[in-house]
Structure 1
Amino acid sequence: MVIIKRYILIGSLIISGGVNGQTINTPDHKNEKTAFQIAAPWNEAYDVRSDVAIVYGVNDAGGKFEERVKGWRDKGYKVHFMTGIAWGQYQDYFLGEYDGKTHLDEGQVERDGDTIWHGKNVPYTVPSDNFLKYLKTHLKRAIDAGVSAIHLEEPEFWARAGYSGAFKKEWKRYYGFDWKPQHESPEATYQSSKLKYDLYYNALKECFAYVKSYSKSVGKDVKCYVPTHSLINYSSWRIVSPEASLASIKDVDGYIAQVWTGTSREPVYFNGVEKERVFENAFLEYGSMISMIQPTGKKIFLLTDPIEDWPRTWDDYKKNYQATFTAKLLYPTVADYEVMPWPNRIYLGKFKMEGSDEKQPIAPAYAMQMQVMVNSLNEIPVSNNKLNGSHGMGVLVSNSMMFQRFPTHEGYEDPQLSNFYGMAMPLLKRGVPIETVHMENLLHENALKNIKVLIMSYSNMKPLNEAYHTELADWVKKGGVLIYYGRDNDPFQEVNEWWNTKGKNYKAPSEDLFEKLNIADTSEFIKSGKGWVSINRHDPKELVLTKNADNVLINKVKEAYEVKANATKLAFKNNFLLHRGPYIIAAVLNENDDQTPLVIKGPVVDLFDPELPVLREKTVKPGEQAYLYNINAATGVAPKVLATAARVYNEEVKNQIYTFTVKSPANTVNVMRIKLPQKPIEISMRNGDNEIPIDSNKWDAESKTVLLKFKNLSKGIDVKIRW
């Protein structure tokens, strides 16, 4: 007899503690590979069957928080807690129920005096000491309810805010002098953003210190995560957040990378054209998030969403879900995922189809496809395989990208964050798997370990610490190749910072870097130690705002990579391709001179097709993505479920009989592609005493797989296959 342990949940650990000293079930932190966030109570209609249910908000979904936590735990989930740190259902605080005082004056306020709202009586908040004291009551309640992790999401301070009395008070406390309106000078803008950044850094630091201290006092080890948008998106949307700096907080255990269609569809410039480039943007966003935490060794979940916050059509959702989903799978070092937020919105929501004004529930075919994709995330492994293409190309980014976004001052424009995209998009569009490197991580010894050529600019960001220059100079002198772009004439070059105070008198921070490198200002490559530097006096945005303007960058990068870094030939192509275990992930780029489709030889199962067809080859056209299962990878391993729109439990093989249980949201259809030693002679399905009808049973002799279709049940269906 063979017991197959794939997909079996690890049991809970029993430890003392909890409410009034009661013994509670606290799950361990192993095998928390997949998760979803949900405010609503458990319901069979959206019983997704990931490892973790992240229960949202103490006051959300009508309250009854402890009941919601227990409801999800009773169904076999490990349970986390998530709530916003900048906003949330905190009306009891803002309207005076908490301490008898109203606190609406703690909202983030724009120049015209308007509060920025997240909902009725829910302002984006200036995180005061009193607000954090209030928030800790929610954290304590969650820990007492038995959650194993706390997620404080979206530490967001709008760049256009900063005019409230609460903010002015924090300014005086932080700087020691009276508040300055940020619209009056670049200096005030920069100072305002630094304060916003610091406020949420310290807010999270304080809250997580409380979580660790209190949970330890009751015999628990509660993890702390920050679900947050990428630095790229926050910079683009003109929001200030601590981002990379959070990973340095000892009590932060990791992040959720909040990347989805809504963030990735932000239009960007390339080759003189501004438009949505969802796959490319998602690829850069996920890369930014992974770069942010990878040197620390902490955990990161990658999120995507089968729909998005903004009402669109089901067709739009499906197309862009495939694009973002593919982008995240192209990072083989990460295999932990938030598979979706708000499953009740997906399974019970109604949206339009293309060409129709009538709102409709999710189509059975899209639900099947989505569930196949989601359940594959329980299986997909971390891989040592690399994405095809030339590796070792990096673009330097910094938290200070957020500091120059609003308001716009004379002498500075950066449309659609083009100073960043000007360095990244020309290479990405030519099939180079460009990486982002966070300046704040340069003090970690592995931050530049695999980078051969680094492109950077101070046109859209500034170094917050002189030590970063010391690390960059050291990397170059040991053999790295640095390409610098920037006119260094924007007004933020002159803000009062370390490069022009306390005895330093540089007109621009780059002057300090070049001095440490001991080089002159020239566009030709200059030797510095064992490495090379090229200084190019154009802002990176100029490379994408005008058609065909990026050729100068491409030529420079080729020389840097092939000659100065002595690497292999810099490969330009129109696709990305990655093998992760039995999974094949591919994307073919449009807006590329090469319009040749990518042909992937089979036999493969197409996981983006709800019928799970077996293909002898798969053709992927420019602008398309593919997600495939390589059947040959299952050779010698039979029987095996290759793909399914449900989660599989308790697999067992005995005497030519294969049994298992499948669970998935009720009122959906399960499709399964199963590899068997030979054609089955009997297939039965039951739930207790009830026989479950099989809607489709098709044998494919060439691949030795059977395709089954039947209605899903949340409570589970026992499947028996005999051959």
Structure 2
Amino acid sequence: MKQPLHMREVFLLLISAVLLFASCGKKEAPPVSSRELRAARVGSFAEIPPVPGIDWPLELTVVPARLGADAGHLARAWSSVAEKVGLEVAAPARGWSGAVQRDSSGRPVFAGENPLPLPDSLLAVATAAQVTRYPDADAFVLDSPVFSALAGYSREFRALIRDWKNPADSTGAWWHVACFKQQLLVRWLRQAAAQIRTSASSDSAGILLRATDPLSAAGENVIVPGYAAASAASLDGFVAALPVPDEARRWNYQGVMRARPFEQTFLSASWWLNLPGSASVWLELPALSEKDFWHAATALLMQPAAKNFLPFRLTGNRLSPQWGVFSFLAKQLASHPARLVEYPWPRSGVLISDTYMWMRGAPWRCDLESLTQLALPLLNHGVPVELVPIERLQEPHFLDRYQVLLTSFEGYRPASGSFQRPLERWLRSRGGILIFYLGVTGPFDEVNAWWSKDFDRPHEPLFQRLGIGLYPESGLHKIGRGIVYAEVSSPRELAPMPNSGDIIWNTFLGILDFLQPDSAREKARPAIAIQRGPYYLVWNPEELAKRHNYALDGNWLDVLAPNFPLVADPEIPPGEAGIFVNLDSLSADTAFVCAASAPVASFARDSLGIAFELRWATSLPVQAVVRLPHRPADVTARSTGGEELPLEQNWDGAFQLLRLRFLPAANRTRIRIHFRHPS
């Protein structure tokens, strides 16, 4: 028997009907390419300084959908950015009168001070309705709602799902409800995007989704749209809300439970950059202390595909000094391909599925260590391993970029068996190496899924297809041109062991040495060192049995240290990151900006000298170090209006470095350097 509609529900349905009626007859805008999106301009913001990595000025409007404390915090943070970069924020609705998520006791599930809304059609309408207040926006960022693992019991939710059963009663019911939660989030996304397309005054307005990656979401026991959002209609890109490595988001590795800013950021960013159309992913740096900021920032700058960046939180109402240096580096490094310095390790990845989120928060055990234990040993020994969405394996030739894959179905169960054929083809034809940890059995093996008709566990149909037996002995198995290394042990159970990283690393290294011996691998220092042009980026891990400083030979400019000092034979201690300019590699005729606390634009060189702009709005002094072929004859700094600015300069003839320090103009400062040619 249907329940009668309350007056509040009738009111919300009337709002929905009015909005839908108003959009009738309006032609749906064609999808906007990422190139068109980045090229968009707003005349009224022509003088606003850019956020490097994005071709600003570009006006974004954030449309929060969480309608709670998180959304309010997001709105306040982005509002402070708006003062500098022209970013407008659609404020969350005051008090959500629609359906909310409820736990098994019928109580609302809260995020901060407000309950999480149910991502249904009414929320999609309410989200889209906010865009009409911002008719000039070039792009709208939808702040994705999340679905709590504790939720799924409200009357409104049960009315939407077919054959609802108490999720806590069985793994099958939990799996079914969790799957529907993600489907509901994706449906909200499609409906909200379609509403925005018809409601926005500009037919070319872009739509981006701001969300976290599946591993970070799994760590917080929530479900997000995940990889499923990549196929959602009308999306022009993503804002990747990278994790905040803090005490609430700790990883257990080798028996030590703590936050790991470099590793968590590196893996999260790699997942986003492995989505289809990764050029449209904007990586949002979280609010971090200075040390953690540079750990996370170095992890991002090591990613060859990372091009677009956004700040999340500012110091007061100003962009932080660290962000200024990072902005400079982001733009400088974009033109230089990345190369591993120590050893050309095979490109390696750890498979992950959206279903990792489905199993977290359940009464049955599901630990992050089932995945992180496979990735951290490689990162800590200098291999830039990536998170690889298993959902993308069926895309033609996607796997061709990888030589080694690691996985265990202990922490997730693939949602379908579509990965098996491309994985087998990759092994047999491309000569791939698959390192597979069977791990422990679990209650989720018993869900009514694609493998359950003929098999007990989801790895069994894959292993039968490969012809190695359902439960092979630990060791190497030849599959065409490729290799499967089957290991019966559990990554989750290895994680608390003090030497667990060495166990998995020695397995990885032993397989490579068996297939192609190379003594250079043993001599490679256990650190990630990447060269991008004259820049060297180094991460020296600290969780190794033998820890040493990572030493660089020669003369370098330390980009992360205050005032960009010149250092000889620098050393990076364990647990630290470093970014340096190799001065010895520069030719005598080189002219370029080595380091700056503001982004550089419009660099030009002619027979008389060089000129460039430093674009930054700050009350703090801006510093820059410029390599020149000759001693400068004249140096000037001018505002866009032509006013000459006071300028401190210092010339280092031994290394041909010009140091500049000045208070910048309101928006951008033009630097002109005339050479003094030798007689």
So what's the TM-score if we normalise by structure 1? 0.77
Distance in structure 1 (CA, Å) of the matches to 2:205 and 2:46: 26
2:525 counterpart letter in structure 1:
K
Which runs of structure 2 are paired with 1:480-559 in the superposition (5 Å)? 480-500=432-452, 504-520=453-469, 521-522=471-472, 523-559=474-510
Q: Does 1:112 align with 2:113?
A: no
Cα deviation for residue 398 of structure 1 reads 0.6
1:561 aligned partner? 512
1:64-85: CA deviations, max 9, x gaps? 99xx99x87xx9x6x67776xx
Distance in structure 1 (CA, Å) of the matches to 2:36 and 2:444: 46
1:137 aligned partner? 129
Corresponding residue SS for 1:541: helix
1:249 aligned partner? 232
Q: Is the 8 A contact 2:243 2:264 kept in 1?
A: no
Distance in structure 1 (CA, Å) of the matches to 2:519 and 2:389: 25
Which of 286, 308, 317 is equivalent to 1:348? 317
1:54 counterpart letter in structure 2:
L
1:441 counterpart letter in structure 2:
R
Distance in structure 1 (CA, Å) of the matches to 2:484 and 2:223: 31
Distance in structure 1 (CA, Å) of the matches to 2:491 and 2:516: 22
1:429 aligned partner? 380
| Counterparts in 2 of 1:149 and 1:631: CA distance versus 1, 3 Å | farther
Cα deviation for residue 490 of structure 1 reads 0.4
2:204 aligned partner? 221
1:235-289: CA deviations, max 9, x gaps? 1111111211222235333322222544798221222222222212222222222
Q: Does 1:376 align with 2:329?
A: yes
1:387-414: CA deviations, max 9, x gaps? 34412332111111111111222xx352
CA RMSD across the alignment = 3.7
Distance in structure 2 (CA, Å) of the matches to 1:716 and 1:487: 57
2:60 aligned partner? 54
Distance in structure 2 (CA, Å) of the matches to 1:561 and 1:498: 34
Q: Is the 8 A contact 2:536 2:582 kept in 1?
A: yes
Q: Is the 8 A contact 2:34 2:279 kept in 1?
A: no
1:90 aligned partner? 93
Q: Does 1:287 align with 2:258?
A: no
Which runs of structure 2 are paired with 1:299-698 in the superposition (5 Å)? 299-305=280-286, 307-308=287-288, 317-338=289-310, 340-343=311-314, 346-348=315-317, 367-381=320-334, 383-388=336-341, 389=343, 390-409=345-364, 412-414=365-367, 417-478=368-429, 479-500=431-452, 504-520=453-469, 521-522=471-472, 523-564=474-515, 573-631=525-583, 635=587, 639-651=591-603, 656=608, 658-687=610-639, 688=641, 691-694=644-647, 696-698=648-650
Distance in structure 2 (CA, Å) of the matches to 1:234 and 1:425: 18
Distance in structure 1 (CA, Å) of the matches to 2:378 and 2:300: 18
Q: Does 1:160 align with 2:150?
A: yes
Corresponding residue SS for 1:378: helix
Cα deviation for residue 130 of structure 1 reads 1.9
Corresponding residue SS for 2:331: coil
2:280 counterpart letter in structure 1:
K
Cα deviation for residue 329 of structure 1 reads 1.0
Deviates more, 1:111-120 or 1:486-495: 111-120
Distance in structure 2 (CA, Å) of the matches to 1:620 and 1:566: 30
1:457 counterpart letter in structure 2:
S
Distance in structure 1 (CA, Å) of the matches to 2:610 and 2:337: 32
| Counterparts in 2 of 1:191 and 1:637: CA distance versus 1, 3 Å | farther
Q: Does 1:182 align with 2:167?
A: yes
Distance in structure 1 (CA, Å) of the matches to 2:129 and 2:215: 33
Q: Is the 8 A contact 2:268 2:387 kept in 1?
A: no
Distance in structure 2 (CA, Å) of the matches to 1:301 and 1:167: 32
1:328 counterpart letter in structure 2:
L
| Counterparts in 2 of 1:567 and 1:515: CA distance versus 1, 3 Å | farther
Q: Does 1:234 align with 2:240?
A: no
Cα deviation for residue 219 of structure 1 reads 6.9
| Counterparts in 2 of 1:518 and 1:80: CA distance versus 1, 3 Å | farther
Corresponding residue SS for 1:125: coil
| Counterparts in 2 of 1:637 and 1:196: CA distance versus 1, 3 Å | farther
1:112 counterpart letter in structure 2:
S
Cα deviation for residue 447 of structure 1 reads 2.8
Distance in structure 2 (CA, Å) of the matches to 1:714 and 1:61: 29
Corresponding residue SS for 1:377: helix
| Counterparts in 2 of 1:615 and 1:555: CA distance versus 1, 3 Å | closer
Q: Name the % identity.
A: 22
Distance in structure 1 (CA, Å) of the matches to 2:500 and 2:262: 22
Distance in structure 2 (CA, Å) of the matches to 1:567 and 1:638: 37
Corresponding residue SS for 2:400: coil
1:300 counterpart letter in structure 2:
V
1:267 aligned partner? 250
1:394-453: CA deviations, max 9, x gaps? 2111111111111222xx352xx1111121122222222222221100111233213223
Distance in structure 1 (CA, Å) of the matches to 2:557 and 2:549: 19
Distance in structure 1 (CA, Å) of the matches to 2:36 and 2:292: 29
Q: Is the 8 A contact 2:216 2:243 kept in 1?
A: no
1:590-621: CA deviations, max 9, x gaps? 12233222222344322112301233332211
| Counterparts in 2 of 1:488 and 1:81: CA distance versus 1, 3 Å | farther
Corresponding residue SS for 2:574: coil
1:357 aligned partner? none
| Counterparts in 2 of 1:432 and 1:380: CA distance versus 1, 3 Å | closer
Q: Is the 8 A contact 1:381 1:581 kept in 2?
A: no
1:156 counterpart letter in structure 2:
V
| Counterparts in 2 of 1:252 and 1:674: CA distance versus 1, 3 Å | same
2:101 counterpart letter in structure 1:
Q
Cα deviation for residue 488 of structure 1 reads 4.8
Q: Is the 8 A contact 1:531 1:564 kept in 2?
A: no
So what's the TM-score if we normalise by structure 2? 0.82
Q: Is the 8 A contact 1:256 1:301 kept in 2?
A: yes
Distance in structure 1 (CA, Å) of the matches to 2:495 and 2:508: 16
1:113 counterpart letter in structure 2:
G
Deviates more, 1:505-514 or 1:633-642: 633-642
1:56 counterpart letter in structure 2:
V
Cα deviation for residue 636 of structure 1 reads 5.9
Distance in structure 1 (CA, Å) of the matches to 2:612 and 2:279: 34
Cα deviation for residue 297 of structure 1 reads 5.5
Higher relative contact order (CA 8 A, sep 6+): 1
1:256 counterpart letter in structure 2:
V
Distance in structure 2 (CA, Å) of the matches to 1:372 and 1:715: 17
Unaligned runs of 5+ in 2: 1-25, 27-31
1:392 counterpart letter in structure 2:
R
1:658-680: CA deviations, max 9, x gaps? 44443322311111112233333
Unaligned runs of 5+ in 1: 1-20, 22-26, 36-40, 95-101, 309-316, 350-361
Cα deviation for residue 318 of structure 1 reads 0.3
Cα deviation for residue 464 of structure 1 reads 0.8
Distance in structure 1 (CA, Å) of the matches to 2:39 and 2:266: 20
Q: Is the 8 A contact 1:437 1:448 kept in 2?
A: no
Cα deviation for residue 203 of structure 1 reads 1.6
